Amino acid sequence: MNSVIYKKKAPLLLFLLPAFAFMMVYLYYPFVRNILNSFVEISGLGTAAGAVNQPWYSNYVNLLQDPSMITALKNTAILILVTIVFQVGIALVLALLTDRAGKGAQFFRTVYFFPIVISGTALGLMFNLIFLYKGGMLNQLLQNIGLISDNVDWKDEKHFLLTMLLPVIWQYVGFYFVILITGLNNISADIYEAASLDGADGWKTTWYISLPLLRNVLFTCLILAITGALKVFDLPWVMMGSGIPMDRSWLTGTYMYNQTFIRADVDYGSAIAVIIVILGVVISQLANFIFREKDY
C-alpha cells in the first residue's frame, strides 16, 4: 500500500469521478426523482407530473390498503424463504456430491450452470409450454401415465405458487452451485487427507470439515439469494403476468411493473418502487448482520 500512486489522492479521485458521475446520473438522480414522483399525480408514462396528491402521502396509505400489494409482499417473502431453502439448499447438496465426483466435476458444473445463461424470458416461454392447459407437456405426460384424466390448470388458485416458484428455483440453483463448488475446491486437500488418516468417513468429513470451512461462502450465497429474490421479475412476469390467477401471484416487482406500464398509474408504481428499495436495503442489511463473515 506504499505505492506512489496512492500518496497523492487527486489522480485517484479523478479516476473515480466518471463512475461517480455515471451513478449520479443514471441511478441516484432517477431514484430521487422516483421518490418525488410518488407524491404527485402522473397518469401515464410520457405525461407530465400533475398536482401533488392529496394528501401527499396518499399512495403510501393506499399501499397498506391494497390487497394486491399485500399479496405481492407475502409472495415475495415466500419466494425469499423458498430461495434460501431450495435454491441454496439444493445447490449445496449438488456441490457436495459433485465435489466427490473428481474429474467429472467440470461436466456437472457446466450442466447445472447452463440455465443461468438462458434468458428469463425464454425460460418463461418454455415453462409456459410445459404448464400449458391444453396440450401442455406436463398434462400430456400425466395423462399418458394415467395419473390424471382431465387437464389440470397449473395456473389456477390451487397450483399457481408451485408453477411460479419451481422455474425460478430451477433457474438459479446452478449459480449458487458454482459458487459453492469453487468454495469447496479452495479447501485444502491436506485437511481431508489428515481426517482420512484419523478414520473420518465421508459424512463426518462433510459435517466437520466441508461445511464449517464453507460457512462464509454459504452465507455469501444466502445474502445473494435473499437480495436476488427481491428482484426476481422476468420469469414470473412471462408466466404469470397480470397476477394470474385472480391477482394471487403478484410479486413486488411484477406488481410495480403492472401499475406503471400496464395500468398507467405511474405515481403509485413509483411508491411501490420506493418500498421495494427500502425492503431491499433493510433485508439485505439484516441478512448481512445475521450471516456476517467470521474469521477462523
Region at 151 (left for phi over 0; alpha for psi -120 to 50; beta for the rest): beta
207: contact with another protein by CB under 8 A? no
Peptide bond into 55 cis (omega under 30): yes
Query: Which residues are within 8 A (CB) of 63 and not within 5 positions of it... i.e. 6 or more apart?
Result: 69, 268, 271, 272, 275
Nearest approach, Cβ of residue 62 and another protein (Å): 12
Nearest approach, Cβ of residue 80 and another protein (Å): 25
Nearer to another protein, 174 or 243 (CB): 243
15: contact with another protein by CB under 8 A? yes
Name which position in 109, 153, 167, 287 contacts another protein (CB under 8 A): 153
Contact 253, 233 (CB under 8 A): yes
Spatial separation of the C-alpha atoms in residues 253 and 231, rounded to whole Å: 7
Nearer to another protein, 245 or 280 (CB): 245
From the CA atom positions of the chain, what is the Rg in Å? Answer: 24
Binding mask 159-188 for another protein (x = CB under 8 A): -x----------------------------
Binding mask 261-280 for another protein (x = CB under 8 A): xxxxx---------------
Only one residue has cell 489522492, namely 9
Task: Please count the residues of this chain forming the interface with another protein, following the rule CB under 8 A.
Answer: 32
Residue whose C-alpha is closest to residue 181's, from 101, 69, 247, 72: 101
Q: Which residues bind another protein (CB under 8 A)?
A: 11, 14-15, 17-18, 21-22, 25, 43-47, 132-134, 151, 153, 155-156, 160, 242, 244-247, 260-265
